[in-house]
Amino acid sequence: MGKDLYEIGEVPPVGEVPPKMYANLVRPENYNEAEPGKAFTVEVVETPPVGRNQVLVSVMAAGINYNNVWAAKGIPIDVTKVQGSIGQPTEWHIGGSDASGVVYAIGENVTNVKVGDEVVIQAGWFDPEDPQIQAGVDPGFTPGYKIWGYETNWGSFGQFCMAYAHQCLPKAKNLTWEEAAAPTLVGGTAYRMLMGWPPNIVKDGDPVLVWGGTGGLGTMAIQIATHFGGRVVAVVNSDAKGEHCKKLGAVGYIDRKNFSHWGVPPHWTKSEEWTEWFQGAKAFGKAFWEALGEKASPKIVFEHPGEDTIPTSIFMAESGGMVVICAGTTGYSATVDLRYLWMRQKRFQGSHFANDEQSAAFNQLVIDGHVDPCMGEVFTFDRIGDAHQLMNDNKHGEGNMVALVGAKTTGTKDVPA
């Protein structure tokens, strides 16, 4: 007879599913805009059910992503309301959009994985029997598409997580559990941004500007763009971070602390103030040329800070080039000077995570050793809230933070004895 509940770091025999599990969850009444890390509490809950086309995975390690900073703040949406709309519990949110683990149970109609398979889970949640998806519509354009472990419950911050089987990808054999849990959400997102919007995809020799080069998205974007022949200039806030970007393949970097023209620019009718802003943007453009070693503008600008940086990004992109954006970390009021957009025929493209093919293509780059998962600090399960607070404060180190759930491997920082 198996136990009702296993301790963290203790893993039941493969295929044995206990009725209860630990989760580091967020309750709506604990949403905390200033200190999102405090919204997390470890509790015992029922192990999730598994439906048609779905799988239950014993989580070995869970990747930390910015999306659960937003979830724990309760802005811009209350994620439990989305969970409710798909029939999931609303009294709490078990987040976590990256997992490495072992398949413990499969639902009806599942053929791509079996109990015992070692997998990583990519966060593109959709019902494969959705008629629009069966008709060939990109899942990301359908209303049923959700980010698993953000807009859905039962993500990887619990001992067992529940996902659609199509989200399972083979775990790279050469990686530890925690390394494998680090990159998939940010990597899949970066892959779609850089390779998913033809004709504006990275081509050999293309200059590419990547904001936040040492962050989750940035570390993946530098490696993916470089792999496809791009010449990346990364933006960071220190020389040490810039050097880190160069190790990942960037040809140069810009320290954004040397500039002050950030945020919504003065209105174009206020010519003196606007000209001052424009001088800042031009100086940034010059810094890009210097870092690139050539007077050429970026064919792709990889955006996510949003409000603070969009005016500069739109100005910077090459004629016929693209600013591609997946977030507005600093705010949502992006001011676009339309003169630069239409006269130089630039593209301003929204992008959101990835489809199955893009996630699999990214995972293959990891399996083949072309992309390093850039694992950052490793946390114990009870410190998942601390990791999110560090991220909120932009005080986390380079790369992708991870929390151990079932795994007890490696000598990295914070791993229990």
Q: Mask: binding to ligand NAP, 321-350, rule CB under 6 A, as x and -? A: -----xx-xx--------------------
Nearest distance in Å: CB 246, ligand NAP:
14
Q: Is 136 left (phi over 0), alpha (psi -120 to 50) or beta?
A: left
Nearest distance in Å: CB 211, ligand NAP:
5
- Asked whether the beta carbons of 159 and 58 are under 8 A apart, the reply is yes
Nearest distance in Å: CB 16, ligand NAP:
34
199 prior amide bond cis, ω within 30: yes
- Asked whether the beta carbons of 23 and 42 are under 8 A apart, the reply is yes
What are the φ/ψ torsions at residue 125 (nearest 5 degrees)? -85, 120
DSSP secondary structure code for residue 174 in this structure: T
Q: Is 249 left (phi over 0), alpha (psi -120 to 50) or beta?
A: left
Nearest distance in Å: CB 392, ligand NAP:
9
Among 117, 308, 356, 386, which residue interacts with ligand NAP (rule: CB under 6 A)?
308
DSSP secondary structure code for residue 232 in this structure: E
Nearer Cβ to ligand NAP (299/396):
396
Among 183, 215, 298, 321, which residue interacts with ligand NAP (rule: CB under 6 A)?
215
* Alpha-carbon separation of residue 163 from 105, 149, 159, 273 (angstroms): 11, 9, 13, 51
Q: Quick check: helix, strand or coil at residue 19? A: coil
Nearest distance in Å: CB 66, ligand NAP:
3
Among 26, 79, 217, 225, which residue interacts with ligand NAP (rule: CB under 6 A)?
217
Nearer Cβ to ligand NAP (160/315):
315
Q: Mask: binding to ligand NAP, 26-45, rule CB under 6 A, as x and -? A: --------------------
Using CB under 6 A as the binding rule, whether residue 252 contacts ligand NAP is answered as: no
Region near ligand NAP per CB under 6 A, out of 28-36, 135-143, 197-205, 232-240 = 232-240
Q: Quick check: helix, strand or coil at residue 339? A: helix
Region near ligand NAP per CB under 6 A, out of 111-119, 175-183, 231-239, 291-299 = 231-239
Using CB under 6 A as the binding rule, whether residue 271 contacts ligand NAP is answered as: no
Q: Mask: binding to ligand NAP, 169-198, rule CB under 6 A, as x and -? A: ----------------xx--x---------
Nearer Cβ to ligand NAP (179/308):
308
* Alpha-carbon separation of residue 256 from 11, 75, 227, 305, 382 (angstroms): 45, 27, 25, 12, 34
To 5 degrees, how large is the angle CA 67–CA 126–CA 129? 175
Residues in the chain: 417
* Alpha-carbon separation of residue 403 from 75, 177, 274, 331 (angstroms): 23, 10, 46, 28
CA dist., res. 260 & res. 47, Å (int):
50
Using CB under 6 A as the binding rule, whether residue 66 contacts ligand NAP is answered as: yes
Taking CB under 6 A as the criterion, which residues in 386-415 touch ligand NAP?
391, 394
Region near ligand NAP per CB under 6 A, out of 21-29, 293-301, 305-313, 340-348 = 305-313
Chain residues binding ligand NAP by CB under 6 A are 65-67, 185-186, 189, 211-212, 214-218, 235-237, 241, 256, 304-305, 308-309, 326-327, 329-330, 352-353, 391, 394
